[in-house]
Amino acid sequence: MTAEALPFPGLRGVPVAEVPATAKDYSSDQEVRWCPGCGDYVILKTIQGFLPELGLRRENIVFISGIGCSSRFPYYLDTYGMHSIHGRAPAIATGLATTRGDLSVWVVTGDGDALSIGGNHLIHAMRRNVNLKILLFNNRIYGLTKGQFSPTSEAGKVTKSSPDGSVGAPFNPVALALGADATFVARAIDSDRAGLTEVLRAAAAHRGTALVEIYQNCPIFNDGAFEVLKNPAESARRLVRLRDGATYNIDGRAYVHDVRSASAESSWALSRLDDGSMERVPVGIFRCVERPTFDDQVRENRARAEKGDDAAFLSLLAGPDPWTVA
State residue 8's pLDDT score. Answer: 81
Residue 323 forms part of a structural domain: no
- DSSP code at position 77: B
Residue 199 located in a structural domain: yes
Q: Locate the DSSP E strands across the chain.
A: 61-65, 80-83, 104-110, 133-138, 184-189, 210-215, 239-241, 247-250, 253-256, 281-288
User: Which of residues 275 and 39 earns the better pLDDT score?
Assistant: 39
Mean pLDDT of the chain: 94
Q: Is residue 321 part of a domain?
A: no
| Residue positions counted in the chain | 326
Q: How confident is the model at residue 4 (pLDDT cuts 50, 70, 90)?
A: low
Residue 318 has pLDDT above 90, yes or no: no
pTM of the shown model:
0.93
Residue 93 lies in a domain: yes
pLDDT digits (tens, 9 = 90+) for 274-310: 888 899 999 999 999 999 999 999 999 999 888 877 7
Distance CA 294, CA 54 (A): 22
* Residue 313 covered by a domain: no
The pLDDT, as a whole number, for residue 180 is: 97
Decide if 288 is inside a domain. yes
Q: Are 184 and 202 in contact (CB under 8 A)?
A: yes
Note down the domain range covering 17: 3-293
pLDDT at 138: 98
Give domain status of residue 26, yes or no.
yes
* Tally of domains within the chain: 1
Q: Does 299 fall in a domain? A: no
Q: What is the CATH number of the domain that holds 61?
A: 3.40.50.970
